[in-house]
Amino acid sequence: MDKKLEIGEMLLTEVTIQNRVRELAWQISHDYEGKRLLVVAVLKGAFIFVADLARHLQVPAAFDFLAVCSYGSATASSGEVRILKDLDESVEGWDVLLVEDIVDTGLTLNYLTQSLWARRPASLRICSLLDKPARRQVPVKLDYCGFQIPDKFAVGYGLDFDGRYRNAPFIFVPAECLTEGEKGCD
């Protein structure tokens, strides 16, 4: 039987996320006016973010999806990335906006940007909802970033822990992911 949703620490409320997503969409709409925008979302984590972002874009856009899996434990990626589902169409000549849920070590985005540049887009920018800079192993230039968060395991709004919590409309640290020191007694 599944465990019920137990919030260890609230990181970002639904209202905070929605306001920021609207701001990002305005900025992206402004920057991509007159361009040939192709939004490439990384599944599964970015599925809710990209759906909300898409509805606030004021410019025409095409959409495609990549599914990747990074090896490692439930809370730490090893940096080895495997493409589970590749793009349906060529990105050649498109102004590609790669949409991710979170950048942690940066290894996944490093791999994906190299793979996408090799396919000759007209341009390539990165938009990530969350940025966890504390554990970065390779530098990643985020053109659009929703929020920087501390080094904690965040779930909700598309992000999961062991396949769970993706459907929560807010972002939080599950009680089961708090470290001993964070559990406190208040």
Which of the residues are catalytic? 104
What's the min distance (Å) between Cβ of 92 and ligand IMP? 25
What's the min distance (Å) between Cβ of 149 and ligand IMP? 8
Residue partners of 39: CB distance under 8 A and separation at least 6: 50, 53, 54, 61, 62, 63, 64, 96, 97, 99
Over its C-alpha atoms, the chain yields an Rg (Å, rounded) of: 17
User: Which of the stretches 17-25, 82-90, 91-99, 154-162 binds ligand IMP when contact is defined by CB under 6 A?
Assistant: 154-162
Position 107 contacts ligand IMP (CB under 6 A):
yes
Q: Alpha helix locations (H) across the chain?
A: 14-31, 47-56, 107-117, 180-183
Position 70 contacts ligand IMP (CB under 6 A):
yes
Position 115 contacts ligand IMP (CB under 6 A):
no
Note the residues at the interface with ligand IMP (CB under 6 A).
45, 70, 77, 100-108, 132, 153-155, 159
